Structure formats: C-alpha cells, structure tokens
Structure 1
C-alpha cells in the first residue's frame, strides 16, 4: 500500500481505517441468525430509549402495548437510518468525482459506501423479520430528501454525516448487551456500532481538516445548517404514524413525546459528544445552540 511516510495526513488516517475494515467487517446476510424465533415477551428497544418512557401515557400502557410501541419505534428508527445512508452514499459518490482515485482517502470512501449498502440491507431485513412495515416518505418527502444533496456540499457533507451517525450511534449503544432485548436487534446494532465507529472517525477527521480553510460565508452557512439539523432529527424520530400504528392517538402521543423531559435527557446524552465536537470547531453559533438546547440535544 505504499510508504506510510509518503502519504498525506488524511491518507495516513484513511489507511488505518482501511486496515480496521479488513480486520473487522461484517456481512449481515451470514452474520445474523435470521431464522431464530423472536421472543414473544421481549422488547425491540430498551424502555429508556423509547420516546414515551417516563410519561403518564407510558405508565398506562400494558406490557403488550409497550412491546408493540417498541416494535414500531424500531421500524421507524431503522427506516430513518435507511433514508440517511442512502443520502450519505449519494454525497460520498459526488465527493469521489473531485478526489484522486488512487488516494487512500478515496479508497476508504468507497469502503464506507460498501458498509452503508450492507447496513441498508440489514435494516430492511430487520424490519421485515420483526413483521413491521417501513416508514417511507410520501412523494413530497422523497423529493425533499433527494433535494438535500443540492444543499449539502463541502463541510456540510461531513456535518450531515456526523449528525446522522453520532446521535443514531448513541441510541444504538444503549441497545447492546441488554438481556431484555430481542437478540436479533442487539446483534444488528452491535454490527452497525462497530462499523459506524470508523465512519464517525472519518467524518470528524475530514471536517476538522476542512475547518481551517473555511471562508466566512461557508462558516455561516454551515452554522445555519447545523441549527436546522436538530429539529429535523427530532421530527424524524417522533413520527406520529408510528404511534398510530401502535394503537395510540398519533398526534397526542407525538406531542407528549416531544415534551417528554426524559426523552430530551436521553437525546442530550446521545448528542453530547457531537455537540462538544461541533462547538470546539466553532460550528454551532448562538442561534444553533439555543435551538439544540430547546430540542434537548445540548445541555
């Protein structure tokens, strides 16, 4: 792979990630036991990460209702993950058009895209295995999601990657090794967490390197997009249709979930490392901080 000393700094980092990918990567088709029966008593998400946990509405639910809500919330989270990774691959593919195809940076970008393709398939198979339906955007939503690639350029490719990956990753880490969780879900989350750790490191490194060359206009635009990302993320995680499918009043349940102080505390804990990193890079302005705090994503 060439002389390490001759590599550019970003290529040196990418080379280490490539080595890690060779040592520990997964194929969900063969690395998960898709034929194992689901436990009729176990939840699909830990109670503490379910959006209604800690509310009076949660306390009023029967065990069967809680299990169904956890199933629908998992299907929604995985659906959002599929949308995001679809968009991220489009952004990364565009980045490759302006990159040296012989560089380690480009090679790891391609490796990450392969990971994301397998993750999308894994998420889709999990949704199917738990006998849920995906939460797919309507025609207008698909146009909106697709149009994001027009606006996410330069530093925003990496900001978008981190917002989608780090907060989602924090939620997943709470599912690992939980004895009360469906084993299939715990295994899928462990695979995703292992590979996403490399993706997060890649995005952080790329963003930190770009920060020093940002113009004032790019910095202002990036701060605006960071501020907008917070309410969008919370909106996607509290999809009213998942509450309706769980047999609840969708509008009322979504309102309770968004006002739930415990849910905000969980989101804040999940976003803490990302918020600290973005703040250190100067990418969260005063308006962004206020919005992130109001949405529970920043202390």
Structure 2
C-alpha cells in the first residue's frame, strides 16, 4: 500500500476517534422548550446582510432584530438543502470503495452527523417561527444538476464551500453574548462536529486534485466555481426582507452592493480560497467565475 491510502486511513481513524469523543444528539443536548431572550439577536448584527447600509440605519432596533431572526432561519433552512446534497455526494463517493475501510466508515459517520444537523436546523426553523425559506427554483434545479454532474474532487470542493463559509460565521456567533443562547448552542454543536468534516474533505480534496486527470481537474474548477455562485447567493432568501416589511427588490440590491457585506463574504471564504488556490482549483479561465461569486477578491 502506498503512502496515499495509508495517510487516508490514518486520518479516518483519528476522525472516528474524535467522533466517538465529541458527538451530540441535538434532540437531547438542546433545550427546545427554553423561551427566547427578550431583545436578543438571532445572529450577530454585523453578519446580517443589510448591516451598515442606509436601509439598516433607517430601520428600528426591533426591525433589525426581527431581520436577524429571519436570516438565521434562512441559514438553517439552506443548511438543510446543502447537507442533503452533501449526504448524496458522500454516499456516491463510498459506492465503489471498501466498506470496511476507515475512510468509508468515517464517511458514513459524517452522513449520520449531517442527518442530525439537518433535523436540528429544521427543528430550529420551527422554533424560530418563520417561514421555511427555500432556494429559488433556478438554484434548486442547479443544485440538482451540480450534484449529478459533480466529479469526485468537485464533491469535496462543494462540501467545503457549504461548510467553511457557515463555519466562519458560526465561530463568531456561538461566543457572542448578544445572540440568543439557543442559537449559540445550535452553532456550537455545528462548529464542533463540522471541524471533523472539514478536515476530512480538505485532505481528500488535496489527494483527489493531485491525481485527477487534466479533464477532471478542469471540469472540477468550473463546476466548483458555479457551485460557489449558487451557495453565496442562496444563503439569505429575498423573502426575509418582505417578512420584516421591506421592499425585497430594493433590499436585495442594497445587500448586493453593500461594501460591508462584500467584505464579510470575502472574509468568510478567505482561508478556503487560499486552500483552493493551493490545490489548483482557482487556476485558468474559471477564476473569473470564482470572482463573480463574491468569495474571491
């Protein structure tokens, strides 16, 4: 056995041990009956899409907090969508592999984690009392195409896109005492378990890109760049603005052109873009697509 499979198995065994030590059951580890704190934010205000815009400054404090509630719910609902795709990609990855290997055992463990995360997010949306926000019809269809056409390295690139952007935001949310304790507990569980998933996906993507034939590497660059565009624009549903009494067309444009929001999105993906550049995902003509996602400066 060469070094690649050996390293892959060593990583899997470490992650399986970490899973055994630090896994959660959201149904019992969260207090679902606890009331929300009066005046508490549901997401750090600096991460709300309209923050520091003229529209934000014209809103009342109550309206801003209400927008944070709807945006937190949008992130949770979109998280279920992302993780549904991710679970399919992971199952497809394991289909031809040895089911007794540590690598496959960890993939199945991660799928179990993602199932719990999805039910946690869905239940959190219900607790927050908002509509269930969904991607646009176009992006829903694009998600179906992208997951079906994804290469193996593209599957891990897409995993990282969905996980690392949210992970960066959640690492700011869970220690923030302005944020509702329940929301902080949800993000804490997700951050702890996603750290393992990110490690698994990063190491596998590095291995895959090092051995991918030229055609596969080039296809992966384009499909991953398009996935980045879909994910970035889907995080916050335009319907959240109408829910708090704003003109959604105007609010979407204000958020899109906000210098603060653009900087937040670039910061959320900075480490990931550096890693993607290192493994060769940002090379060639697809770089223009990556920039149009708003994640790459």
- Return the TM-score normalized by structure 1: 0.94
Q: What's the counterpart of residue 251 of structure 1?
A: 249
Aligned residues between the structures = 294
Counterpart pick for 2:15 among 14, 17, 21: 17
Query: 1:226·1:284 contact (CA, 8 Å) conserved in 2?
Result: no
Over 3 Å counting, the alpha-carbon distance change for 1:139 and 1:212 in structure 2 is closer
1:215 Cα deviation from its structure 2 partner: 1.0
Per-residue Cα deviation, 1:102-126 (whole angstroms, up to 9, x for no partner): 1000000010000000000110111
1:286 Cα deviation from its structure 2 partner: 4.5
1:35 Cα deviation from its structure 2 partner: 1.0
Give yes or no for the alignment of 1:172 onto 2:170. Answer: yes
Q: What's the counterpart of residue 221 of structure 1?
A: 219
Q: What's the counterpart of residue 120 of structure 1?
A: 118
Q: What's the counterpart of residue 133 of structure 1?
A: 131
State the distance in 1 between where 2:243 and 2:204 align.
Answer: 40
Q: What's the counterpart of residue 96 of structure 2?
A: 98
Over 3 Å counting, the alpha-carbon distance change for 1:153 and 1:291 in structure 2 is closer
Q: What's the counterpart of residue 240 of structure 1?
A: 238
- Over aligned residues, Cα RMSD in angstroms? 1.7
Counterpart pick for 1:210 among 196, 208, 211: 208
- Matched residue of 2:173: which SS? coil
In the TM superposition, what are the counterparts of 1:136-155 in structure 2 within 5 Å? 136-137=134-135, 142-155=140-153
Give yes or no for the alignment of 1:78 onto 2:91. Answer: no
Per-residue Cα deviation, 1:10-53 (whole angstroms, up to 9, x for no partner): 01100000000001000000111111110120110001100100
Per-residue Cα deviation, 1:197-247 (whole angstroms, up to 9, x for no partner): 000000001111111211111111111123212321221024211111121
Q: Which runs of 5+ in 1 are unaligned?
A: none
Over 3 Å counting, the alpha-carbon distance change for 1:230 and 1:148 in structure 2 is closer
Query: 1:238·1:257 contact (CA, 8 Å) conserved in 2?
Result: no
- Return the TM-score normalized by structure 2: 0.94
Which moves more between the two structures, 146-155 or 169-178?
Answer: 146-155
State the distance in 1 between where 2:205 and 2:12 align.
Answer: 14
Q: Which runs of 5+ in 2 are unaligned?
A: none
Q: What's the counterpart of residue 194 of structure 1?
A: 192
